[in-house]
Amino acid sequence: MRISIVTLFSFCLFLSASWVRAEGKAPCIAFMGVEDPGFVFEDTDLDRFEKQVKAMLAKDGIAVVDAEKLRKHLGESSCRRAKCWAGLGDALGADKGLRLRIVRSGKLCTLVETLFDTTGRLTVEARMHESPCKAGAVLRSFEKTLPRLIFEETGWRRTAGKSETLPEQLSPEQIEHEFSKYESELQRCLDLQADRDPSVTGKLRVGFSIQPSGRIAQLRILSKAHRTAFVGECMAYVFKSIHFPFFSGKAMFGLERQFQLGQ
């Protein structure tokens, strides 16, 4: 079993203009491996996770720091402090550091993805989500969530090609499909408001935009009567947890959803 920095791959190469990023180059990530402090998985499973993540990063055009170079720089350090993170950027040319961690919680595993900045700003973005504690399920979870995390934090994505085409905008059907996945959570907000204060009624209007990353932004409660009510805060929380598919065009503004409270 292992709980430490693991094998990395490739040199930190800057890739071609067939990729989109504000700086015009691929981000360089120091992949610090998969930690399993509870010994949930065998070494062979951890090797599989690492290999799959490496392949996924390579497919998405991410440059990765060379393993021996990283080990030589870190020595015995676990690199958990801001000073060490900044050192990765200075010494190795990495823009970001990526650390993955698996923690068992009952029958489920909590997967923690931490992407930290190494260029002096020292910002950290951590995501947590749950998965069955099965190797295949963990792999599928990483494959689904890591590209979105990296895209949202670095602005990095492949331009649409013949084999991989992103729509310019989302269709009404696509938007409706994603909202349908959260129907029970949205309805619960309405029900909780009725339990707390049934005098809050009327048509709740929520305005929002969708970014090309699939995240909701500029969310506002448009109906004045609901701006300070519990239901408004509850709806905002659910809305911000929705992930729409990527698209290649500009952000979609002026969107609105309506909900009826009371009779």
pLDDT of residue 11: 36
pLDDT of residue 22: 41
Q: Where are the beta strands (DSSP E) in 119-246?
A: 124-132, 157-158, 202-210, 216-221
| CATH 3.30.2420 domain span(s) along the chain | 172-261
Highest mean pLDDT among 111-115, 124-128, 222-226: 222-226
Is residue 10 pLDDT above 60, yes or no?
Answer: no
Write the CATH number of the domain with boundaries 19-158: 3.40.50.10070
| CATH 3.40.50.10070 domain span(s) along the chain | 19-158
Quick: pLDDT tens for 148-188. Answer: 788 777 777 654 443 356 789 999 999 999 999 899 999 99
pTM of the model: 0.56
Quick: pLDDT tens for 61-107. Answer: 888 875 556 667 676 666 666 666 666 666 677 788 888 999 998 88
Write the CATH number of the domain with boundaries 172-261: 3.30.2420
| pLDDT over 70 percentage in the chain | 75
pLDDT of residue 161: 43
Report the SS3 class of residue 33.
strand
d(CA 193, CA 198): 7
Quick: pLDDT tens for 128-151. Answer: 888 999 999 999 888 888 887 887
Quick: pLDDT tens for 41-50. Answer: 999 998 889 8
Element (DSSP H or E) covering residue 254 = strand 252-261
